[in-house]
Amino acid sequence: MPNILEFGLDGNFYAMDIHITREIVEFLPLTPIPRTPGYIAGMTNIRGEITTIIAISELIGATAGNTEPASQKFIIFMPGTARGENIGVMVDEVYSVIEVPEQAIEYTENRGEGTIKSFIKGIIRVSDDSGEKEGSRVSQRLVLYLDIEKLLSYLFEMASR
C-alpha cells in the first residue's frame, strides 16, 4: 500500500508519494528569478539553503487558487528526487498523509509527453467515512495522483534545452 501526501490546489485534491518529500514548510517570501518560465514561482531561503519553488498549478493546468499567498505551503523534495537540487512546489493546502490500498487506485496510461496527462499516475478514491453511522452512505472524493518524479525529469529536460 503506497503512502501518499494529499494536498489541495484551487479546491481540488491531489496526491504524491510521501517518500519523495523532505518537509513541508509554511509560506516564505519568494524572490522572483528573472527570465524564467512562469512555473518558476521564485526562490527562498529555507534554513540557509536556497530553494527554488515551482508553481505546480502552472505546470498541471490548475487555475491559481483563491488562497492568500501567506497561507500557502511549500512541499520540499528529497535532494535525490530533484537531482541534488533544493526544489519544492507551492500548494494551497496540505491535508494529510494516508496509506492507500492498491484497489483504491485506478492507474492511468501516461500519454502525451509534457502534458498534464503524462504527469498523472492515476486517480485515487478516498472514502470520507469519519463518524459515519451504520447503513449510511460513505462519501468518496477523487484525488489526482501525480507522478512528481516524471514531472521533475521533464522540467530538468526542458531546462537543459
Query: Which residue's C-alpha cell is 537540487?
Result: 85
- For residue 136, is pLDDT > 90? no
* Pair 119, 146: CB distance under 8 Å: yes
Dist. CA 59–CA 151, nearest whole Å: 9
pLDDT tens, 45-88? Answer: 999 999 999 999 888 877 655 567 778 999 999 999 999 999 99
For CA atoms 161, 9, 67, 71, the dihedral sign is: negative
Q: What domains appear along the chain, each with residue ranges and CATH number? A: 3-159 (2.40.50.180)
pTM: 0.87
Return the bridge partners of 45, or none: 50
